[in-house]
């Protein structure tokens, strides 16, 4: 069993850390507030506000933070204090270039690093069924595998350090595009007066069915967009896609379009809503009010 310090106990990190603790690992969560401490205690985790002290006592440090600057600042602070032979696993979604820079600039050579971003959302984190895309050296991946198997069910070593983030960026463009197309289908169905519940049920059983449609169906039916996955984070991920694509001179036209829609929602103050709120914008573009179950409000 490993001694693990877990930094970033948010929507995803808290249930992931809880599952590790439940499986018998010695997990200490790093918290920044009394509320964070209370949530960690509820989840059965030991908690501290001293990241450096917690990290220097750990075999494995896991970070699950919002963005590249957060990971850079945390790893720069704890890096010099990590044990020889320790393993840092960054499970946040960040820019692959930042991943490689952080390894080179903030970690001593005696510490190993993996990037291991995840897909599967809050429900996947709670149920321990995440998809985990791992970049790094094969021996380090095998060392971390027992931990990954607690948090996820699909664990794939996709290449050297940074490769996990590249695959996650691709994942995020698919998810955003998929949500936008389901949102447009909902607008179309509502305008035609179709019964939305039965329409989405039967669509979900065919080629157009998807995990997005399954997981977001209730949000689309209810017009309730509590996160889940915040639009602000999805805007960040699409920015990563755009930067990486621009560096290669790639044209990704539909990705560009959905990036603009996500940015528009964030710019107008909806960044804290779930990414299923792309439906909100799609409806407004068509003069539809956000409505409840019946799908009949075409104002």
- Give the residue from 188, 200, 198, 140 showing the smallest Cα distance to 164: 140
Q: Which of 28, 68, 92, 255 binds ligand NAD (CB under 6 A)?
A: 92
Strands (DSSP E) along the chain, which ranges? 3-7, 26-30, 46-48, 60-63, 87-90, 112-115, 118-119, 130-135, 152-159
Q: Which of left, alpha, beta for 107 (phi over 0: left; psi -120 to 50: alpha)?
A: beta
Please identify, among the stretches 17-25, 151-159, 227-235, 288-296, the one whose residues bind ligand NAD according to the rule CB under 6 A: 227-235
Closer by beta carbon to ligand NAD, 190 or else 230? 230
Q: What is the DSSP pairing of strand 130-135 with strand 118-119? A: antiparallel
- Give the residue from 82, 75, 96 showing the smallest Cα distance to 53: 82
Neighbours of 288 (CB within 10 A): 19
CA 246 and chain centroid, separation: 23
Closer by beta carbon to ligand NAD, 190 or else 220? 220
**Contact call for residue 13 and ligand NAD (CB under 6 A):** yes
Binding mask 68-87 for ligand NAD (x = CB under 6 A): --x---x-------------
- State which of positions 30-69 bind ligand NAD (CB under 6 A): 30, 32, 64-66
Catalytic, 236? Answer no
Is residue 210 within 8 Å of 175, Cβ to Cβ? no
- Give the nearest distance from C-beta 25 to ligand NAD in angstroms: 19
Q: Which of 122, 137, 184, 272 binds ligand NAD (CB under 6 A)?
A: 122
Closer by beta carbon to ligand NAD, 11 or else 256? 11
- Give the nearest distance from C-beta 173 to ligand NAD in angstroms: 14
- State which of positions 260-299 bind ligand NAD (CB under 6 A): none
- Give the nearest distance from C-beta 274 to ligand NAD in angstroms: 9
CA distances from 145 to 2, 14, 97, 115 (A): 12, 19, 24, 13
Is residue 133 within 8 Å of 156, Cβ to Cβ? yes
**Contact call for residue 132 and ligand NAD (CB under 6 A):** no
CA 53 and chain centroid, separation: 27
**Contact call for residue 118 and ligand NAD (CB under 6 A):** yes
**Contact call for residue 10 and ligand NAD (CB under 6 A):** yes
Interacting residues toward ligand NAD by CB under 6 A: 7-13, 30, 32, 64-66, 70, 74, 92-93, 118-119, 121-122, 228-229, 233
The set of catalytic residues is 168
């Amino acid at each position: 069993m490993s001694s693990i310090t877990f930094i970033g106990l948010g929507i995803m990190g808290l249930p992931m850390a809880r599952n590790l603790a439940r499986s018998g690992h010695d997990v200490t969560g790093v918290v920044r507030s009394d509320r964070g401490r209370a949530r960690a205690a509820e989840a059965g985790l030991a908690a501290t506000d001293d990241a450096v002290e917690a990290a220097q006592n750990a075999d494995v440090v896991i970070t699950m933070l919002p963005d590249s600057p957060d990971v850079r600042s945390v790893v720069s602070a704890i890096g010099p204090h990590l044990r020889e032979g320790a393993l840092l696993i960054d499970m946040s979604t960040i820019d692959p270039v930042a991943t490689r820079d952080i390894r080179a600039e903030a970690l001593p050579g005696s510490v190993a690093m993996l990037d291991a971003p995840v897909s599967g959302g809050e429900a996947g984190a709670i149920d321990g069924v995440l998809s985990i895309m791992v970049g790094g050296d094969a021996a380090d991946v095998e060392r971390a595998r027992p931990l990954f198997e607690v948090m996820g069910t699909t664990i794939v070593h996709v290449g050297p350090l940074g490769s996990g983030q590249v695959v996650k960026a691709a994942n995020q463009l698919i998810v955003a595009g998929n949500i936008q197309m389901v949102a447009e289908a909902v607008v179309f169905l509502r305008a035609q007066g179709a019964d939305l519940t039965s329409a989405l049920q039967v669509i979900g059983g065919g080629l157009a069915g998807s995990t997005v449609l399954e997981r977001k169906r209730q949000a689309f039916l209810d017009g309730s967009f509590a996160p889940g996955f915040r639009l602000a984070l999805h805007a960040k991920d699409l920015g990563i896609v755009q930067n990486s694509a621009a560096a290669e001179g790639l044209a990704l036209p539909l990705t560009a379009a959905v990036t603009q829609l996500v940015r528009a929602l964030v710019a107008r103050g909806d960044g804290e809503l779930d990414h299923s709120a792309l439906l909100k914008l799609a409806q407004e573009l068509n003069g539809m009010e956000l409505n409840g179950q019946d799908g009949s409000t075409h104002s």
